[in-house]
Amino acid sequence: MPMPTKKVVILDRDGVINVDSDAFIKSPDEWVALPGSLEAIARLNQAGYRVAIATNQSGIGRGLFDMNALNAMHLKMHRMAAAVGGRIDAVFFCPHTSEDHCECRKPRPGMLKMINERFEVDPEHTPVVGDSLRDLQAGASLGHPPHLVLTGKGRKTLDAGGLPDGTIVHDDLRAFALDFLADAQE
């Protein structure tokens, strides 16, 4: 089967790109990139991949921060990625809490459906990278290859088991980028 012309990687944000916190990341000061994560995005870009983020941000629905704070966090992320030669093409987020029962909050696949439509990608060739079971479930439900990173909640997710079939485990986003790009060249 020929590879699709649209090469996209879908990443979760907290725990994959930046440090996560059980108290939520609520401000640009709290948004701290994980070592090597932004360089990994740059490496993916240099290999011709676009990067989209799908992130649950229930802190908005809980009233812990507002859209201005979220936009400021994402501006910081974009600027820091650009400083190392990386580009994030789109950030899709769900502001709802689990009590809202929306279709966009992972593990439901609504955000990923929107990304697939916007970028016209074939899920089978578009990896989803996350640190929690819900990230992987959302991707696997649409046929995306699931990739677990052991940063953030990743180690706890791995230890809990029940990962979708075919989940590939990586130490961090840098290791994912190296492994994925090596496999793509084979």
**Nearest-angstrom CA–CA distance, 101 and 132:** 19
- Strand, coil or helix: what is 23? coil
User: Residues 14, 20, 131, 135: which is the catalytic one?
Assistant: 14
**Annotation marks residue 159 as catalytic:** no
Residue boundaries of the structural domains of the chain = 8-185
Q: Dump pLDDT digits (tens) for 80-125.
A: 999 999 999 999 999 999 999 999 999 999 999 999 999 999 999 9
pTM, two decimals, is 0.95
Rg (CA), the chain: 15
**Annotation marks residue 66 as catalytic:** no
CB 21, CB 30: distance < 8 Å: yes
Domain 8-185 in CATH 3.40.50.1370? The answer is no
Please return the burial class of 17, using the count of CB atoms within 10 Å of its CB with bins 0-12, 13-18 and 19+.
buried
Nearest to 117 by CA among 30, 52, 27, 45: 52
Give the other-Cβ count within 10 Å of 139's Cβ: 28
